[in-house]
Amino acid sequence: MIEISHLTKKFDQFVAIDDLSVSIREGEVLGFLGPNGAGKSTTMKVITGFLSPSSGRVTIDGHDISTAALEAKRLIGYLPEGAPSYGDMTTLEFLRFIAQVRGFRGVEIEQKVDQVINEVALQTVRDQSIETLSKGFKRRVGLAQAIMHDPKVLILDEPTDGLDPNQKHHVRALIKSLATDKIVIISTHILEEVTAVCSRAVIIANGKIVADGTPSELESQSRFHQAIRVTLTDSHDLVADVATLPGVASVEVEEDNRLAYTIFAEGGASIFSQVSEIAQQKHWPISEFHVERGQLEDVFRSVTQQSEGQTNE
């Protein structure tokens, strides 16, 4: 369990993390979201013990990262932003080095290295020096070193940044397969990633938490929650049909496709039955009809911009 309480990190006058408190339990995959410069990476650097907090504390399974740094660091696997590694070493040499630093000895070293090489599919680049590897492979080498000691806490700073869709899928599958008894913290800009792998999403802006919940909880805060998207094959005065319908807040037409409408629900209540009924009655020429779960992107924008507005005042 990770306990972060009243964590503040200042760089000179700039407050990167502002009195942040959150606790994360085993089994949670926490998606850490926020605009650039919101303090995501800084928070991760403090949790992993790279930076020391200005005030407040971080404990990992009871070990304070400031006072019991080594014990805490043993529990953590960390992929720093950009997946740095020693370029002049080969994949195998680098992973052996990590295995040794992680305290493995003798045959264990080769076992662990082989295991992670298989896990993240690095077999083809075992003996290639890391600086010659492609971005995707470098990222995977970084992941391999982070998961080698089967850490209780896995902290990944933008693990899929710069990967192609196949590689992204692979990394996400890997994260999901790890997650059952671990704590995983992922920072990302990619919101679909949060819906895909995270059990909890925390959005921060200006060093403060502005939203915290499961991805579907956050989605339900969106004005798109329960909205219905309809695409017609032919023009039809859909707006007039639904205007008087109870529960409908408003209707919008997409700008680049005049036949695509979004019908917003009032207060997040379901309007599916009403709308589908009237669609049948009025014989809408429908080609597509679906209910939106809500858009994380929409929530993200509204909570982070709100917070920016507050600080500007």
Query: Judged by CB, which is closer to other proteins: 51, or 197?
Result: 51
Query: Judged by CB, which is closer to other proteins: 112, or 223?
Result: 112
What's the angle, vertex CA 270, arms to CA 267 and CA 272, rounded to 5? 140
| Whether the Cβ atoms of residue 186 and residue 43 lie closer than 8 Å to each other | no
Tell me 133's DSSP state: S
Question: Which parts of 254-313 interact with other proteins (CB under 8 A)?
Answer: none
Decide: is 76 part of the binding site for other proteins (CB under 8 A).
Answer: yes
Part in contact with other proteins (CB under 8 A); list of ranges 83-91, 181-189, 276-284, 290-298: 83-91
Decide: is 49 part of the binding site for other proteins (CB under 8 A).
Answer: yes
Judged by CB under 8 A, which of 81, 119, 161, 217 binds other proteins?
81
CB of 120 to other proteins, least distance (A): 16
What's the angle, vertex CA 208, arms to CA 202 and CA 209, rounded to 5? 25
At residue 132, φ and ψ (nearest 5 deg) are -90, 0
Site string for other proteins, 121-160 (x = CB under 8 A): --------x---------------x---------------
CA atoms within 13 A on the CB side of 175: 32
Part in contact with other proteins (CB under 8 A); list of ranges 89-97, 168-176, 211-219, 246-254: 89-97
Judged by CB under 8 A, which of 15, 68, 89, 209 binds other proteins?
89
The type of residue at 302 is: S
Tell me 226's DSSP state: T
Decide: is 102 part of the binding site for other proteins (CB under 8 A).
Answer: yes
The type of residue at 297 is: E
- Which residues, in sequence order, are bridge partners of residue 57? 5
At residue 256, φ and ψ (nearest 5 deg) are -90, -5
Tell me 131's DSSP state: G
Binding site for other proteins (CB under 8 A): 11, 45, 48-51, 70, 73-74, 76, 78, 80-82, 84-89, 93, 97-98, 100-103, 129, 145
